[in-house]
């Protein structure tokens, strides 16, 4: 054997964490925070510079300063707030009108095989239809008033909530059903203590998806036969070639989306305190 002889009893020392290393970890976390804060600002700055240098056509792309200049009177006159509230109200109503039956039907489809057998094909066939394609029909049925907008949003929310709720019930671990059965839970007790709480995380996943769709649909729904709303503002600005106003409306939509998802997250935390986050 002529293997290289290793020194016996070699000692390797594991170092304790140094002061410097933990400091540098903190510094890095801080740096990342600054980076994520800076990136939008840098983008705005770049946009402004390009506009000032005439590198982009301000008639089409506008510039942050122009948009801000247009935003101030829109805010101070209350016009922007008015349109925002109109749209937010439609979204909220549509959301409720869609989500409530979605949850109820989703629960019953998940719990009762006959109901699922009855409705599943209908859902499977109608779900893929783009909701925008149904809008003209909705306008004919519900007329040009508020209800047509609310219903357009409701339809989009309904399917997402329904499908997620059903999946939520079907995915509840069978051991929980065994526990309920072995302790003699009645039908009603089973819904309230196992099916509904067990499906809640998926229900919320559906609600969040539904919120995204609601924002998409509000713009489309306000395209036709509306006299107010953020979506209406966008289409109106399009007609008038008012790019700045259009951007202001987009800012509002981003803001609305942020608020709604924040509210949903908050409600989720209250309703599902047991979820491991």
Q: Measured from the CB atom, is 185 or 220 closer to other proteins? A: 185
Residue 142 in the binding site for other proteins (CB under 8 A): no
- Contact between 263 and 208 under an 8 Å Cβ cutoff? The reply is no
Q: Interhelix angle for 19-52 vs 64-76, to 10°?
A: 90
Q: Which distant-in-sequence residues (6+ apart) come within 8 Å of 40 by Cβ?
A: none
Residue in the structure block whose two tokens are 């209350």: 78
Interface residue with other proteins, options 182, 187, 227, 239 (CB under 8 A): 182
- Min. distance of Cβ 268 from other proteins in angstroms? 13
User: How near is the Cβ of 210 to other proteins at its closest, in Å?
Assistant: 22
CB of 198 to other proteins, least distance (A): 7
Phi, psi of 183 (to 5 degrees): -95, 10
Among 9, 18, 26, 186, binds other proteins (CB under 8 A): 186
Q: Does 194 contact other proteins by CB under 8 A? A: yes
CB of 207 to other proteins, least distance (A): 17
Which residue, 44 or 205, has its beta carbon nearer to other proteins? 205
3-state helix, strand, coil in the chain (%, to 5): 80, 0, 20
Q: Which is nearer to other proteins, 100 or 180 (CB)?
A: 180
Q: How far apart are the first and last CA of the chain?
A: 58
User: In terms of CB distance, is 9 or 182 closer to other proteins?
Assistant: 182
List the one residue out of 91, 129, 111 whose CA is nearest residue 165.
111
- CA nearest neighbour of 104 among 166, 150, 153, 151: 166
Q: How many residues bind other proteins (CB under 8 A)?
A: 22
**Min separation Cβ 191 and other proteins, Å:** 13
Using CB under 8 A as the binding rule, the residues of this chain from 195 to 234 that contact other proteins are: 197-198, 200
Q: Indicate whether 188 belongs to the interface with other proteins (CB under 8 A).
A: no
Kindly calculate the radius of gyration of the chain based on its CA atoms and give it in whole angstroms.
27
Q: Is 189 in the site for other proteins (CB under 8 A)?
A: yes
8/273 with CB nearer other proteins:
273
Residue 277 neighbours by CB under 8 Å, 6+ apart = 269
The neighbour count for residue 61, using CB atoms within 10 Å, is 14
193 binds other proteins (CB under 8 A): yes
Interface residues toward other proteins, by CB under 8 A: 175-176, 178-186, 189, 193-194, 197-198, 200, 272-276
């Amino acid at each position: 054997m002529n293997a290289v002889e290793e020194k016996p009893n070699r000692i390797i020392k594991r170092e304790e964490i140094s002061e410097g290393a933990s400091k540098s970890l903190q510094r890095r976390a801080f740096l990342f925070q600054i980076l994520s804060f800076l990136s939008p600002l840098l983008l705005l700055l770049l946009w402004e510079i390009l506009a000032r240098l005439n590198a982009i056509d301000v008639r089409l792309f506008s510039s942050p300063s122009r948009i801000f200049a247009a935003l101030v009177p829109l805010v101070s006159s209350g016009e922007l707030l008015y349109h925002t509230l109109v749209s937010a109200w439609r979204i909220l109503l549509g959301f409720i009108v869609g989500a409530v039956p979605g949850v109820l039907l989703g629960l019953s489809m998940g719990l009762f095989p006959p109901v699922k057998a009855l409705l599943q094909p209908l859902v499977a066939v109608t779900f893929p239809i783009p909701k925008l394609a149904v809008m003209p029909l909705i306008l004919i049925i519900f007329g040009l008033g508020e209800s047509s907008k609310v219903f357009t949003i409701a339809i989009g929310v309904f399917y997402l909530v329904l499908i997620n709720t059903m999946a939520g019930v079907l995915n509840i671990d069978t051991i929980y059903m065994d526990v309920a059965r072995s302790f003699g839970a009645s039908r009603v007790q089973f819904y309230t203590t196992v099916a509904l709480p067990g499906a809640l995380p998926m229900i919320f996943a559906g609600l969040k998806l539904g919120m995204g769709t609601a924002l998409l649909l509000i713009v489309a729904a306000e395209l036709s036969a509306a006299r107010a709303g953020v979506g209406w503002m966008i289409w109106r600005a399009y007609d008038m070639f008012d790019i700045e106003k259009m951007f202001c409306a987009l800012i509002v939509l981003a803001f609305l989306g942020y608020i709604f998802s924040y509210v949903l997250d908050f409600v989720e935390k209250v309703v599902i305190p047991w979820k491991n986050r």
